[in-house]
């Protein structure tokens, strides 16, 4: 297994492509937008430069990593001769099902098709293909080049051989794979998202402010980042989508998203990526911080 395709050049996709390429895999990075591909490559380059400054890689590794990546705006061309596809598109079930139908038609019969989904059923995804035994979840954590964990999600029909292959592959990427079964939210988000949602409920109910809630969790529970800041980092739209998947899957009110979260997403306040969420990340705010130093 040497030739890898990654679908999506966004935050997760470019991170996954980076990790594979740095570990000497040939990577086809695929996105419908040439602009997105260029932005993804720029992010990979910037992250490699950071590693270079920290002396964690050499100039040679940086150059080789970038040389290992080719870009495509066509799924059919990008997956033509690959051994593995990792889909990292937006967390939307209809979009993922559409992509996997395309992948099933275009990728070689031998190819394993993996999804980086953080909550959507691998079994449901596999059902739209003719190779359900070769469909698996590879849930990387953000930021991908730094975080060690990969949740390996077995669908109902995922074969033992495919699971073992992907577990071993993840270890080759210097990651720590953990096998989990296919239930909404898997392990990471089944535990994390209700905590984030409860923090939002605590703010919504007026128990404490944003800073106070995050400070309690950082200093009292030794969390490196407060839950509201983490929600901003993940993306409030992503949090809402995952909670909705779990609520639909379990029909349990404990997974129902807080009305404040719903309204913030409707208002376009999605966190870091839009410049405002529970915190203000706008350029004016950054300039204000610089002026105070």
> Are 5 and 78 within 8 A, CB to CB?
yes
User: Distance between alpha carbon 30 and the CA centroid of its chain, in Å?
Assistant: 16
- DSSP 3-state assignment of 155? coil
The catalytically annotated residue of 14, 28, 121, 139 is 139
- DSSP 3-state assignment of 80? coil
The catalytically annotated residue of 115, 118, 170, 241 is 118
The catalytically annotated residue of 68, 116, 119, 189 is 189
The catalytically annotated residue of 18, 68, 151, 276 is 151
Question: Does the annotation flag 269 for ligand binding?
Answer: no
Question: Does the annotation flag 8 for ligand binding?
Answer: yes
Edge-to-edge strands, sheet with 69-72: 69-72, 26-30, 3-7, 84-87, 112-115, 135-140, 149-154, 176-181
The Cα–Cα gap between 168 and 252 comes to 35
Q: 175: buried, middle or exposed (CB in 10 Å: 19+, 13-18, 0-12)?
A: buried
Question: Does the annotation flag 96 for ligand binding?
Answer: yes
118 assigned to active site: yes
Question: Does the annotation flag 142 for ligand binding?
Answer: yes
Question: Does the annotation flag 232 for ligand binding?
Answer: no
Question: Does the annotation flag 12 for ligand binding?
Answer: yes
139 assigned to active site: yes
Question: Does the annotation flag 133 for ligand binding?
Answer: no
Question: Does the annotation flag 11 for ligand binding?
Answer: yes
The Cα–Cα gap between 178 and 170 comes to 10
Residues known to be catalytic: 118, 139, 151, 189
Binding-site residue set for NAD(+)? 8-13, 31, 91, 96, 118, 142, 273
Binding-site residue set? 8-13, 31, 91, 96, 118, 142, 273
């Amino acid at each position: 297994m040497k030739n890898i395709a990654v679908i999506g050049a966004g935050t997760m996709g470019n991170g996954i492509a980076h990790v594979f390429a740095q570990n000497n895999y040939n990577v086809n990075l695929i996105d419908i937008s040439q602009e997105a591909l260029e932005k993804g490559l720029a992010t990979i380059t910037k992250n490699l430069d950071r590693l270079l400054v920290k002396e964690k890689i050499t100039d040679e590794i940086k150059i080789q990593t970038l040389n290992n990546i080719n870009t495509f705006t066509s799924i059919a061309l990008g997956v033509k001769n690959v051994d593995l596809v990792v889909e990292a598109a937006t967390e939307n079930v209809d979009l993922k099902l559409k992509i996997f139908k395309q992948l099933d038609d275009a990728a070689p019969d031998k190819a394993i098709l993996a999804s980086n989904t953080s909550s959507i059923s691998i079994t449901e995804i596999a059902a739209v293909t003719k190779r359900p035994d070769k469909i698996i979840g590879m849930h990387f954590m953000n930021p991908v080049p730094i975080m060690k964990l990969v949740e390996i999600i077995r669908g109902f029909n995922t074969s033992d051989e495919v699971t073992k292959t992907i577990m071993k592959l993840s270890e080759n990427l210097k990651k720590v794979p953990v096998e989990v079964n296919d239930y909404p939210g898997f392990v990471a988000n089944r535990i994390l998202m209700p905590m984030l949602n409860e923090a939002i409920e605590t703010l919504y109910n007026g128990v404490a402010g944003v800073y106070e809630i995050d400070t309690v969790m950082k200093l009292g529970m030794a969390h490196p980042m407060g839950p509201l800041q983490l929600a901003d980092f993940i993306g409030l739209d992503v949090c809402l989508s995952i909670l909705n998947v779990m609520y639909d899957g379990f029909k349990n009110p404990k997974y129902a998203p807080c009305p404040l979260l719903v309204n913030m997403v409707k208002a376009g306040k999605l966190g870091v990526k839009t410049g405002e969420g529970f915190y203000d990340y706008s350029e004016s705010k950054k300039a204000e911080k610089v002026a105070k130093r």
